[in-house]
């Protein structure tokens, strides 16, 4: 760390009343060395250390040559086209930047910064991306494994044209490092920022904020009076659920007020041997529907009880499509979906169309039964695989926080569905339909 401090000072990073210390729970952090007034600039970082993909390509010729050659070979394009393409690949460029200067070209001006970044061994012990088994049985497991598969495919493409073979652990390390330290400097641009990225997150007690300077540098400014020395200077990263924090950053927050989303795969609801279900799958793909059902926090709605309970409109529309049969006017002509002769072009149209069906309560009841069975399965998986998590440590502590939170959400959703099912079973439309079927 002393080498980094010297490097930062010599590189023009200036500080006031600020020092770097080890925290009890979050590695290194920024602390006050004295009392500091509100609205005081405590850290100034020059623009050359706001490391966006554009910046690292402009300022590191040896690295940028490798990147441009990679894009030219992979896509059979000109240098100018390669530069344009690279400009839109922020995360990939930053990952390659970290890998190159951490593993392949260590003795450069970036060595002091690379040396203070989390090690590969650290993430192998503490990040869910290296330990997907710690979320086995949760709704996050599929997302983690899908991300690993996506990174594997990316790396396979990169290794075909990159001059030195990159190992998967290196690429996973780089992805973990980027998402644990990156900041969105604009709506479309992310950057690594040495020194700034030592500031830890605080949900309720942050006391500094960051601002871009006129010359495209970055500064940290106090948002309240710092009354004494040795007070940690923390940022508020924004409202993020524990699911998002664990997925991107590898940690969770106890009693996080931001509710995690629950995602359930859509395909198990459909029968691949049923021609009608095959048509439903093809239509859902044609309109760009995601192959998941999503449960968010409950919200006020006087339109649909499932939406009111927190299921997204797209999810409810997909459920209603699954629940609909040809007896209720469902018809497929090629890739065109029709309900009672009305052509339906997307999920929003499908949702609106379902609201006007005379048999909507029956469709809702079928959807509730499907969801109830699915939630029961996922709840059992969550509980069953908790017993697999032997040992202790920060990773298991964080995944346990998420696992318990997810379980609570699933149980609450089950209760809501049970209440809705009881109401629907008393509905006149449902009672009449059931009587006719006897």
Domain boundaries, the chain: 2-246, 262-437
Q: Rounded to whole angstroms, how far apart are CA atoms 362 and 431?
A: 9
Q: Rounded to whole angstroms, how far apart are CA atoms 202 and 17?
A: 20
Q: Are 417 and 371 in contact (CB under 8 A)?
A: yes
3-state secondary structure of 66: helix
Specify which residues 43 forms β-bridges with. Answer: 15, 220
Quick check: 334 pLDDT over 60? yes
Tokens 């330290």, residue? Answer: 181
Scored b (16 or more CB within 10 A) or e, 126-159 reads bbbbbbbebbbbbbbbebbeebbeebeeebeebe
Q: Is domain 262-437 given the CATH code 3.90.1420 in the classification?
A: yes
Four-point Cα dihedral 109, 115, 117, 120, nearest 10: 120
Quick check: 390 pLDDT over 70? no
Q: How many degrees, rounded to 5, is the angle at CA 353 between CA 349 and CA 358?
A: 170
Q: Please compute, for residue 92, the number of CA atoms within 13 A of its CA located in the half-sphere on the CB side.
A: 19
CATH superfamily of 2-246: set domain protein methyltransferase, domain 1 (3.90.1410.10)
pLDDT of residue 237: 81
Task: Give the model confidence (pLDDT) of 89-139 as tens digits.
Answer: 999 999 999 999 999 998 899 999 999 999 999 999 989 999 999 999 999
The one-character DSSP state at 201 is B
Burial class (CB in 10 A: 0-12, 13-18, 19+), 69: middle
**218-222, strands of its sheet edge to edge:** 14-15, 41-45, 218-222, 208-212
pTM attached to this predicted model? 0.87
Quick check: 301 pLDDT over 70? no
Q: Are 179 and 248 in contact (CB under 8 A)?
A: yes
Which residues lie closer than 8 Å to 370 by C-beta, 6 or more apart? 269, 319, 322, 323
Task: Give the model confidence (pLDDT) of 271-297 as tens digits.
Answer: 999 999 999 999 999 999 999 999 987
């Amino acid at each position: 760390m002393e080498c980094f401090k010297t490097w930062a000072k010599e590189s023009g990073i200036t500080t006031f009343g600020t020092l770097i210390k080890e925290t009890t729970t979050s590695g290194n952090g920024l602390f006050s060395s004295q009392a500091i007034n509100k609205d005081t600039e405590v850290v100034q970082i020059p623009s050359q250390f706001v490391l966006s993909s554009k910046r690292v390509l402009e300022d590191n010729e040896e690295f940028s040559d490798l990147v441009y050659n990679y894009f030219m070979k992979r896509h059979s394009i000109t240098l100018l086209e390669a530069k344009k393409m690279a400009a839109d690949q922020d995360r990939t460029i930053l990952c390659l930047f970290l890998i190159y200067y951490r593993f392949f070209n260590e003795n450069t001006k970036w060595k002091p910064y690379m040396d203070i970044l989390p090690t590969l061994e650290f993430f192998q012990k503490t990040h869910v991306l290296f330990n997907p088994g710690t979320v086995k049985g949760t709704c996050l497991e599929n997302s983690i494994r899908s991300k690993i598969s996506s990174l594997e495919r990316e790396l396979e493409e990169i290794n075909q044209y990159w001059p030195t073979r990159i190992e998967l652990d290196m690429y996973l390390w780089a992805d973990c490092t980027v998402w644990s330290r990156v900041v969105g400097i604009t709506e479309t641009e992310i950057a690594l920022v040495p020194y700034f990225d030592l500031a830890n997150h605080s949900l309720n007690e942050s006391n500094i904020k960051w601002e871009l300077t006129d010359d495209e540098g970055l500064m940290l400014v106090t948002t309240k009076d710092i009354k004494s020395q040795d007070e940690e200077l923390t940022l508020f990263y924004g409202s993020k659920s524990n699911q998002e924090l664990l997925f991107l950053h590898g940690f969770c927050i106890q009693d996080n007020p931001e509710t995690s989303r629950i995602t359930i795969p859509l395909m198990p609801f459909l029968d691949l041997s049923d021609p009608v279900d095959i048509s439903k799958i093809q239509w859902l793909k044609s309109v760009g529907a995601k192959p998941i059902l999503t449960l968010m926090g409950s919200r006020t709605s006087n339109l649909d009880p499932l939406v009111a309970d927190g299921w997204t409109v797209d999810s409810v529309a997909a459920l209603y499509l699954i629940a609909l049969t040809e007896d209720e006017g469902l018809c497929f002509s090629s890739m065109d979906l029709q309900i009672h002769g009305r052509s339906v072009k997307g999920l929003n149209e499908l949702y609106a169309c379902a609201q006007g069906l005379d048999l909507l309560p029956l469709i809702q009841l079928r959807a509730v039964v499907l969801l109830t069975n699915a939630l029961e399965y996922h709840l059992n998986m969550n509980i069953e695989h908790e017993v697999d998590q032997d040992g202790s440590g920060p990773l298991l502590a964080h995944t346990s926080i998420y696992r318990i939170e997810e379980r609570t959400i699933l149980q609450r959703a089950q209760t809501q569905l049970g209440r809705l099912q009881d109401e629907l079973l008393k509905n006149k439309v449902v009672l009449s339909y059931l009587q006719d079927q006897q």
